[in-house]
Structure 1
Amino acid sequence: MHDYKVSRLFDIPFKTKHVIIRQEVMWSPPPANKVKFNCDGSTVGAQSCGAVGFVIRDSNSTFLGAISSNIGHATALEAEFSACLLAIETAMEMQLNQICLETDSIRVVNAFRKNTGIPWQMRVRWHNCLKFCNNIDCSCVHVLREGNQVADALAKNGQGLAMFSSQWWSTPPTSILAILYRDSIGLAYSRLSTVKFCPPFVFEVLFAVFALFFKLFDVSGSGCTWFF
């Protein structure tokens, strides 16, 4: 507001932020006879405490299960990989043979397709999971963050769990009911972007110029007197 008043005082064009809807993003169910795992990782704090979450749904958008898990210290990339690994390991336990993994991490998708870029401490676990995926009907696809809201909420929930503990739901927790319903009816999320405006430092420079002016000149009603 202060910058705006100054711009009006000196008749300086003032550019404001404009929000633009770039894309409509929605979650889509998997093909018939397949189940979809939406996975996400989360990190918070200076020590990067990591958590993961995933949700399982079928082609009718029916909820089949979900998990939140605290994985301790982890980088953002490690959290994303851990979420996908945990989803695959759960698919093994459930003896599923037609699955679709969906994540908002392009690096995880590239690792799945090209087997590159895996964090070194996860390589053995990753290759074991990939071996399982190669023997079943399994795909890994990228989704924009707006289409991965349920997994995002579950991963953030994991931040509140005890270190290295997990919570499994066989019925939907109340915290994600609204998002699940929104996904089931195909209601889209808007992916927004903003138009940048003139940065605040422009006004700081302007103030500095005026401060210098008043320092060099004695401004009075009769005119200006040099100090030097």
Structure 2
Amino acid sequence: MALVGGLMFTNGVFAQEEKQFNFSVALNSDQFFGFYPTFQGSYGFSGKTRFTFYGIHWGGGTGAGWGNWTEFGVGANFQAAKGLSINPQIGFLGGNLLSSGTSGPAIFGDGIVPNLTVNLLKEKVEGQFYFGYYAPLRDEAPANGTTLAYTHYWLNLGFRASKFFSLGAHYEHLINSGGSNVETSTDVYQWLGPYVQFSKPTGGPFARFSFGTDLVEANDSFFKLTTGFSF
């Protein structure tokens, strides 16, 4: 769900704060969501405040079976300190995962996702924290069916060996938080492992690969690949 280590993709998204308009696109793949393109943009109103927008084409992979699941949202980015930005956003979904557990029709208004991203980008350190709560907006579940809700968050922190290469650790957790017929929350996955990232030093293309173990019992490992371009 949003941003994966993605879209919210990499910490380079807001690296060039002096530009009035920024835009990034990324291609992401992992073994749970499958293949999902993302985009994220911002428009600066002042040196410390920016309007932001984003989208996730979940339907490119697993989300094709969730009513061509699609997410679009808007928000604002605030520069809290040099190299530290805070970006609250709210997203809206189309599909059927949340409103009927994939059993009902694909609809606009499948769910809503308030979310928060905190980006850290220093000369030698980079990091990102994301938290989003996916809640159904409508109940389209058939008899004996259920709506669904999810909590999704991740944290990564890395060392920038150079403007070209960085490496660090990634932790990500997805929880089935409830629904109209869901009595207890359950862990979907809990990923932990290293990442490596390669970026053009002057900005533009980047690639990140994350991999490691899944801490949820009966699960095995995880892998996530992201490549994209920041304009």
TM-score norm. by structure 1 comes to 0.29
Max Rg structure: 1
Higher strand share: 2
Higher helix share: 1
The answer to which structure, 1 or 2, has the higher relative contact order (CA under 8 A, 6+ apart) is 1
TM-score norm. by structure 2 comes to 0.29
